[in-house]
Structure 1
Amino acid sequence: MVTLRHELSVRTRMTLLAGAVMAALCLVVCVFILVGAHERAMDDRTDTILQAELHVARHISRNQLPSLLPDHGIAALQVVNAHGELVAANLRMLSEPRMASFAPPDDNLIKDRVICTVPSFANACMIVVAIRVAGAGGDWIVYGADLVVPWYIDRSVVIALLVGSALLISATAIGAYRTVSKTLDPVDDIVAELAEITSTDLGRRVPVPDHHDEIRKLAETANLTLERLEAAVEQQRRFASDASHDLRSPITAIRTQLEAAMLHPDEADWTAMAQALLASLDRLEAIVVDLLVLARLDAGAQCDGDRVDLRELVMTELERRAPKARVVTDLGPEAIVDGDRLQLGRLLTNLLDNAARHADSTVAISVRRKGEEAVLEVNDDGPGISPDQREFVFQRFTRLDAARSKDMGGTGLGLAIAREIAERHGGLLTIEDSEKGARFVLKIPVAPADPAR
């Protein structure tokens, strides 16, 4: 049953459901119709018997009762006088015993019963109606009987109900199938389009229906997903292209230096070449490390829930760093944030490395709390960054002018990593105006107060 349900399409399931509901509704309606019509038919049959008995009653009241009674349209008629003697009957009941022994009560002139033992009607149930009539010597009783109406009333009624139900069920099933098919046609178009989209043609979009309904929302959501996927794939392609180029540069430099030395081994300055090779390897290692960090960030690496004091983080980092430029600090009260200590340390390291590379002589660091945000600023006194390029520097493998080129030791990934870490911590890393140099400003929501502290 489960397998069959999974194999049936939505159209088929909805059609079967609509047909089943209509079939159940038709069954209930048919039962009500048959019950009501049967009661009405029984009442009509009883009225017919009573009309026939009233004709006989007139003969009794006039003292003109013949021994052989006409049928008057019913199956059986009998008359019993005041002494309980059978004095008249229709032709079929003329030689038969009394068909019933019950009599109407004193407070009622009419009584009816269903009896299945009426003489001359074996294996048949009859509606027997008895009426009390005043006659010679006392009350006479006239019995009239006719066959009980069957539950289906008549075959024509059953056939009409079956045909009508079949037409209604068929019309409902066809209408449901066409309605569901029309509703799901846009879904088929969306599925067909999605099935044809590959990584080489992510610019394609699924068709959007005209009607503002759930399927339109599905199509719009699918298109938004495709747009994000296209942007992510394009970013990955650019990233792979830039990464391959930046990895190739130090490798090519190493190969060139080694090949030149191998051509003239006696003339080569192996010590100087080794130092140059170590510099290239350091650059290669830095690029690989940054690539691994970005890969972990892109994969959605979870942040540890540490409580980090930015002021303490700055002091710890400055203590372990070899000074490349004069550092001026302005550390206010504690500014505690929730986040990953290692990632925030990497963010600070990247900002300090960038500032040290481009500073003329001094790097200024400040930490303060501003409202519900902790603010960290790193400002160098170098050439600065023009306003139109302040967002561009946060892109991966960014190159600006010679003063900030990657040949000065950067990988082109440090600032991109720093912004990624800031955003993962619910913060924002931007470049703001300064009197001289580049001023990087990090804003992160402060951690809620710890009751234990």
Structure 2
Amino acid sequence: MNSHSIQARSTIAAAGLLLVALVVGGVALDLAVRYRIQNEVFFAAEQVAARWSAAARNGAVPRPIPTLTDITLVQLVDARGRVVDSSREAAGMRPLSTLRPPADDRLQERTECSGQDRCVMLMANRVSPAADSPVVYAGTAQPSLLATHTLEYVIAAGGVLILVPVAWMTWWAVGRTLRPVERERQFASTTSHELRTPIAGLRARLEEALLYPDDVDPRDTIQGALRATGRLEAIVDDLLLLTRMRGADAAPPELVELGALVTEEVSALGSGVPVRVRAVGDVRVRGSRIQLARVVGNLLSNARRHAVSAVTVSVDSVDGQALVAVTDDGAGVPPADRERVFERFVRLDEARRRDSGGSGLGLAISRDIARAHKGTLRIEDSPVGARFVLMLPLAGTAGAAGEGTVAPRKTAVKPRRNIWPARRPPGRSMSATASGDAWE
């Protein structure tokens, strides 16, 4: 079951439960409103009918019968069904009802509807227990909320206005909750695929050596196995680093002078494409020295792998940000791939051709480290080649990495195989070469 299926099922379940609750609540509200309106109308009609019934017993009913409330239809009807007296609004009308309450239940309510769908809510009050007693009818036209389905439409519209936003918020919340899970699932799937490839190659070489011992050179088999093992080791090491960066306790940050750090990384490189360093001033940031060295090392290795003749590294500060730019004179990275190269296990065709043993995690790890230091790592436009730009908050600024923002502990990260040499003064240009990872 994928995340979209879970998201859809969760949204449907939540919307279904809410719909049931809204239907029950809407019906209850509709009945309550109708009952209240009916009760108020009949109560008012009862008061008017009782008043003029008492007046009729005393022979003091005026002509016409005055109305001072919303109960405007008042009639005094004799035992033969003739209208003896009425209010102005009921003048000329047929008797409002044929109901004659019995002597033992002289006050009754009734809703009378004509053929034209005109309904009147009224109270019938028998004036006296006598057989020929007249009846007083007092009522009013049925309110529109009771005569039509307007109330139901209003309640239904309100339910929709509640249901739709809640369903959308449920979809959004479940999707947001499942998004990291889906990323982890994709990562696990991609990792399994990347690990399966060198394992399958290693197994094939070993099986071939066992099945055809006379036709297979043991030295070639061992060398191939070592290459596959080296790729496996690189992938596992980078996966462990990613896990430690996310799950380990934070280490107290330290002040790191980026010019000196870059100089040390360049001096640790082996032979190959020369690297020129231009460091301006004293550029200090706060963070993990080992992690920042890993970022610089990855960028240098990538740049030298793709450079034609030279790599340039500049260290500067701009608007409260430390800037480290690594530029090579190679083919560069196409604009469409400038974000994709930072994804895990993404290796462009040129990278695979130049370095088949890379893990494909170097740039992903570098960007994670930059973000952990409240900085950015991106590829910018360059007249020639690729230009990777690392920006970090300068030490002492509001955005600088503080306590608990850098992970993992320095002791938790496997140290690089190169040990830092003695520092060289920042700003000195130097040339050095070494092998490194491809775009990864």
* TM-score, length basis structure 2: 0.51
Cα deviation for residue 434 of structure 1 reads 0.8
Cα deviation for residue 239 of structure 1 reads 0.6
Instruction: Tell me whether 1:295 sits opposite 2:236 in the alignment.
Output: no
Report the counterpart of residue 258 of structure 1 in structure 2.
Answer: 206
Select which of 378, 399, 406 maps to 1:430.
378
Report the counterpart of residue 308 of structure 1 in structure 2.
Answer: 256
Cα distance in 1 for partners of 2:356, 2:300 equals: 14
Report the counterpart of residue 228 of structure 1 in structure 2.
Answer: 176
**Aligned letter for 1:282?**
G
1:344-366 CA-to-partner distances (Å, cap 9, x unmatched) read: 11111221222222222322111
Select which of 254, 258, 275 maps to 1:327.
275
Cα distance in 1 for partners of 2:14, 2:276 equals: 54
Change (3 A) 1:219 1:328: same
Cα deviation for residue 300 of structure 1 reads 6.4
1:139-158 CA-to-partner distances (Å, cap 9, x unmatched) read: xxxxxxxxxxxxxxxxxxxx
Instruction: Tell me whether 1:410 sits opposite 2:358 in the alignment.
Output: yes
Structure 2 gap ranges (5+): 20-158, 398-440
Query: More relative contact order in 1 or in 2 (CA 8 Å, sep 6+)?
Result: 2
Is the 1:365–1:379 contact (alpha carbons within 8 Å) kept by the matching residues of 2?
Answer: yes
Report the counterpart of residue 194 of structure 2 in structure 1.
Answer: 246
**Aligned letter for 1:261?**
A
Q: 3-state SS of the aligned residue for 1:337?
A: strand
Cα deviation for residue 242 of structure 1 reads 0.8
Change (3 A) 1:293 1:228: farther
Cα distance in 1 for partners of 2:194, 2:219 equals: 25
1:426-445 CA-to-partner distances (Å, cap 9, x unmatched) read: 10111001122111001101
Cα deviation for residue 420 of structure 1 reads 0.8
Change (3 A) 1:318 1:218: farther
Cα distance in 2 for partners of 1:405, 1:303 equals: 38
Report the counterpart of residue 344 of structure 2 in structure 1.
Answer: 396
**Aligned letter for 1:357?**
R
**Aligned letter for 1:228?**
R
Q: 3-state SS of the aligned residue for 1:333?
A: coil
Is the 1:330–1:366 contact (alpha carbons within 8 Å) kept by the matching residues of 2?
Answer: yes
Aligned residues: 254
Superposition CA RMSD, Å = 3.5
- Name whichever of 309-318 and 424-433 sits farther off: 309-318
Select which of 314, 321, 328 maps to 1:366.
314
1:101-154 CA-to-partner distances (Å, cap 9, x unmatched) read: xxxxxxxxxxxxxxxxxxxxxxxxxxxxxxxxxxxxxxxxxxxxxxxxxxxxxx
Structure number with higher helix proportion: 1
Cα distance in 1 for partners of 2:355, 2:253 equals: 37
Cα distance in 2 for partners of 1:353, 1:200 equals: 47
Select which of 387, 391, 398 maps to 1:439.
387
Report the counterpart of residue 298 of structure 2 in structure 1.
Answer: 350
Cα distance in 2 for partners of 1:199, 1:417 equals: 33
**Aligned letter for 1:255?**
R
Report the counterpart of residue 79 of structure 2 in structure 1.
Answer: none
Is the 2:326–2:389 contact (alpha carbons within 8 Å) kept by the matching residues of 1?
Answer: yes
Cα distance in 1 for partners of 2:347, 2:375 equals: 25
Structure 1 gap ranges (5+): 1-195
Q: 3-state SS of the aligned residue for 1:369?
A: strand
1:307-334 CA-to-partner distances (Å, cap 9, x unmatched) read: 1111111122122222332211112212
1:176-221 CA-to-partner distances (Å, cap 9, x unmatched) read: xxxxxxxxxxxxxxxxxxxx9699979987789899xxx9999987
**Aligned letter for 2:330?**
G
Report the counterpart of residue 141 of structure 2 in structure 1.
Answer: none
Cα distance in 1 for partners of 2:255, 2:12 equals: 44
Select which of 308, 326, 336 maps to 2:284.
336
Cα distance in 2 for partners of 1:234, 1:341 equals: 32
Report the counterpart of residue 66 of structure 1 in structure 2.
Answer: none
Report the counterpart of residue 281 of structure 1 in structure 2.
Answer: 229
Change (3 A) 1:293 1:379: same
Change (3 A) 1:367 1:252: same
Cα distance in 1 for partners of 2:385, 2:317 equals: 23
Change (3 A) 1:301 1:392: farther
**Aligned letter for 1:272?**
D
Report the counterpart of residue 67 of structure 2 in structure 1.
Answer: none
Is the 1:208–1:220 contact (alpha carbons within 8 Å) kept by the matching residues of 2?
Answer: no
Identity, in percent, stands at 42
Report the counterpart of residue 6 of structure 1 in structure 2.
Answer: none
Q: 3-state SS of the aligned residue for 2:378?
A: strand
1:272-297 CA-to-partner distances (Å, cap 9, x unmatched) read: 32222212111111101111112223
Report the counterpart of residue 97 of structure 1 in structure 2.
Answer: none
Change (3 A) 1:246 1:338: same
Cα distance in 1 for partners of 2:10, 2:18 equals: 22
**Aligned letter for 2:384?**
K
Q: 3-state SS of the aligned residue for 2:316?
A: strand
* TM-score, length basis structure 1: 0.50
Cα distance in 2 for partners of 1:220, 1:374 equals: 42
Is the 2:322–2:391 contact (alpha carbons within 8 Å) kept by the matching residues of 1?
Answer: yes
Cα deviation for residue 249 of structure 1 reads 1.0
